[in-house]
A and B are shown apart, each in its own frame.
Chain A
Amino acid sequence: MREKEIVFCKGGGCTAKLGAGVLGKILDKLPRQKDENLLIGFEGSDDAAVYKLADNLAIVQTLDFFPPMVDDPYTFGQIAAANALSDIYAMGGDVKTALNIVCFPESYDMNILGKILQGGAEKVAEAGGVLCGGHSINDDGVKYGLSVTGVIDPNKIRPNDKCQKGDVLILTKPLGVGLVCSAARVNMCHEKTMAEAVKSMTFLNKYAAKIADEFDIHACTDVTGFGLLGHLSEMTKGSFTAVIDSKNVPYIKNARKFADEFLYTAAAQKNRNFVGDKVKFYIDDFAMEEILFDPQTSGGLLFAVSEKDALNMLEKIKTLGMPCGIIGKIEEKEDFEIKVI
């Protein structure tokens, strides 16, 4: 038991991500190689890289790993894998192969690692992919994730920034898992609330992505460490204004309570610093602001879909059993990139 306490929950998951602000500065300085087959790389701060192999075939590559955000190693494995696989689904691809990425202290009980890997392997199998190896490092703290390769028809890529005026925004999972994990870390979170968060974090975005195939999707991203507003600003990219209707934003109910209890994470504040000046709040609801900036681990997909398809699509997404909703729309560019009403 004691070992578990040392290993787990130093504030993991996507709250462990480096802030977007810091990251942007150095990424901008990296040399960019030109390759006409690289369809999606750094430029759009997109979820995964896409490289064309043939006219109708491209590979989608991504990797994601982080420290634990829950106590149970098996659950952590599931969440980390679901989170890594999600980037493939955000692009609209199919998962093919996955490799484990492991950092683990040699002195710890190897059965813990066994449980983590088991959780991860099960999610890869559920995704329809094949786990084919990995790499492990003896390290001070536990970290786990996957490098995932998928395939996609280059004509069917879902960029994260090609939304159009009039599009409707659909979010497929509830926000607030960052606040819930933060509350759990300081023992202020009820098991039932944690279970809601775990259910959401372990749920593959595969199913929502599949449903979206039937509809006219203009842009898609998964909502992870930069929070809803951070990822939304990547979608509007200075060209549009997104109007978020806060009443319709799905979130884990007790996340609001935790925000009222001031369980502020560092990552949410970094998100606020990064994107806050692009956002205008027309609501007097600080807890909701925190929820909208809350970093998500294995969050849902955010779609910009044609207005005509929105209601039908939401009805189908609802059948997945996750709190979801039509959370806003894309409008002509105004002073602020995001308006929250």
Chain B
Amino acid sequence: MIKKVNALGLTCPLPVIETKKALEEIEKGTVEVLVDNEIAVQNLSKMADQLKMDHSFTKEEENVYKVEIIKGEGIEKEPAPVFEAISCAPAGKKVVVISDKNMGVGDEALGKVLMKGFIFALTQLDKVPDTIIFYNSGAFISIEGSESIEDLKKLEEAGTEILTCGTCLNHYGIAEKLAVGSVTNMYVIAETMMNAGSIVKP
């Protein structure tokens, strides 16, 4: 399989980043990159060396260089020990903790849009989170009228446990309106967070 990347007109590090993406997208095969300067060729070669992939380049014409990087064939098959070390992703559950109805500090309207976008983005991930916990004003996201209900239902279907803090629902007087997932208490929240492999807090 040959994948082509046209990086003409791009300045470093963009050609390298685009090429890295292309390499990640193929299981094995060749990535052909066009760049317009020799320095970019050298930077691509450095990356290929670091990834222990075979590479070569040809000067096609003035200011056009073609770099070929081969992934997975006819070259050193043994992965460098570094790569094994990298595979130690945290074990245990991935828990998303949402403590505010807005994402980030700043303009409220923006924060709301960002939070909606974040939850939608979660639905698009290859692996959805194991648990999402809502507390304090985060509780407004899992109740009727919230723009994220559809996305949260999708996540629930995909296997995400959705928990909302009961004390918080009561405090804001919205306990009746919970639209997705179940009510939880501080004991469960604390335990889930303590046992999590990683906690993501937008």
> A residues touching B (Cβ–Cβ < 8 Å)?
10-11, 182, 185-186, 261-266, 269-270, 272-273, 286
Verify B12–A265 contact, CB threshold 8 A: yes
Q: How many angstroms between the C-alpha atoms of A270 and B38 in the bound complex?
A: 10
For residue B13, CB closer than 8 A to chain A, the reply is: yes
Q: How many angstroms between the C-alpha atoms of A266 and B41 in the bound complex?
A: 10
Nearest Cβ distance between residue A183 and chain B, in whole angstroms? 8
Q: Is the interface of B mostly helix, strand, loop or mixed?
A: helix
Verify A263–B11 contact, CB threshold 8 A: no
Q: Mark B14-55, 1 if CB is under 8 A from A, else 0.
A: 101100100000000000000001011011001100100000
Measured CB to CB, the nearest residue on chain A to B19 is A262
Chain B residues whose CB sits within 8 angstroms of the CB of A11 once the complex forms: 11-12
Size category of the binding interface on chain B: 10 to 19
Measured CB to CB, the nearest residue on chain A to B20 is A262
Please tell me which one of the listed residues A263, A270, A272, A273 contacts residue B16 in the complex, with CB atoms under 8 A apart.
Answer: A263
Q: How many angstroms between the C-alpha atoms of A269 and B39 in the bound complex?
A: 6
Q: How many angstroms between the C-alpha atoms of A263 and B13 in the bound complex?
A: 5
- A186 and B17 in contact, given A262-B50, A286-B50 (Cβ under 8 angstroms): yes
- A10 and B47 in contact, given A262-B20, A266-B39 (Cβ under 8 angstroms): no
Q: Which has the most chain A C-beta neighbours within 10 Å: B13, B16, B17, B39? A: B13
Chain A residues whose CB sits within 8 angstroms of the CB of B14 once the complex forms: 186
Chain B residues whose CB sits within 8 angstroms of the CB of A182 once the complex forms: 12-13
Chain B residues whose CB sits within 8 angstroms of the CB of A272 once the complex forms: 42
Verify B12–A186 contact, CB threshold 8 A: no
Q: How many angstroms between the C-alpha atoms of A264 and B40 in the bound complex?
A: 9
Q: How many angstroms between the C-alpha atoms of A262 and B11 in the bound complex?
A: 14
Nearest Cβ distance between residue A269 and chain B, in whole angstroms? 5
Verify B39–A263 contact, CB threshold 8 A: no
Verify B11–A10 contact, CB threshold 8 A: yes
- A266 and B12 in contact, given A186-B17, A273-B42 (Cβ under 8 angstroms): yes
The 28 listed contacts between A and B (C-beta, < 8 Å) are A10-B11, A11-B11, A11-B12, A182-B12, A182-B13, A185-B13, A186-B14, A261-B20, A262-B13, A262-B16, A262-B20, A262-B43, A262-B46, A262-B50, A263-B16, A263-B17, A264-B12, A264-B43, A264-B46, A265-B12, A266-B11, A266-B40, A269-B39, A269-B46, A270-B39, A273-B39, A273-B42, A286-B46
Since A264-B46, A286-B50 are in contact, a sample of 10 more A-B pairs with Cβ atoms closer than 8 Å, ordered by chain A residue number, is A262-B13, A262-B16, A262-B20, A263-B16, A264-B16, A264-B47, A266-B12, A269-B39, A270-B39, A273-B39
Q: How many angstroms between the C-alpha atoms of A163 and B50 in the bound complex?
A: 35
Measured CB to CB, the nearest residue on chain B to A179 is B13
Nearest Cβ distance between residue B21 and chain A, in whole angstroms? 11
Verify B43–A269 contact, CB threshold 8 A: yes
Measured CB to CB, the nearest residue on chain B to A290 is B46
Chain A residues whose CB sits within 8 angstroms of the CB of B37 once the complex forms: 266
Q: How many angstroms between the C-alpha atoms of A269 and B12 in the bound complex?
A: 10
Chain B residues whose CB sits within 8 angstroms of the CB of A270 once the complex forms: 39
Measured CB to CB, the nearest residue on chain A to B11 is A11
Contact residues of B between 40 and 83, Cβ < 8 Å to A: 40, 42-43, 46-47, 50
Chain B residues whose CB sits within 8 angstroms of the CB of A265 once the complex forms: 12-13
Chain A residues whose CB sits within 8 angstroms of the CB of B39 once the complex forms: 266, 269-270, 273
Measured CB to CB, the nearest residue on chain B to A10 is B11
Q: How many angstroms between the C-alpha atoms of A202 and B50 in the bound complex?
A: 33
Chain A residues whose CB sits within 8 angstroms of the CB of B40 once the complex forms: 266
Q: How many angstroms between the C-alpha atoms of A336 and B11 in the bound complex?
A: 32
Chain A residues whose CB sits within 8 angstroms of the CB of B17 once the complex forms: 186, 262-263
Chain B residues whose CB sits within 8 angstroms of the CB of A269 once the complex forms: 12, 39, 42-43, 46
Q: How many angstroms between the C-alpha atoms of A185 and B13 in the bound complex?
A: 9
Measured CB to CB, the nearest residue on chain A to B14 is A186
Q: How many angstroms between the C-alpha atoms of A185 and B17 in the bound complex?
A: 12
Q: How many angstroms between the C-alpha atoms of A14 and B166 in the bound complex?
A: 55
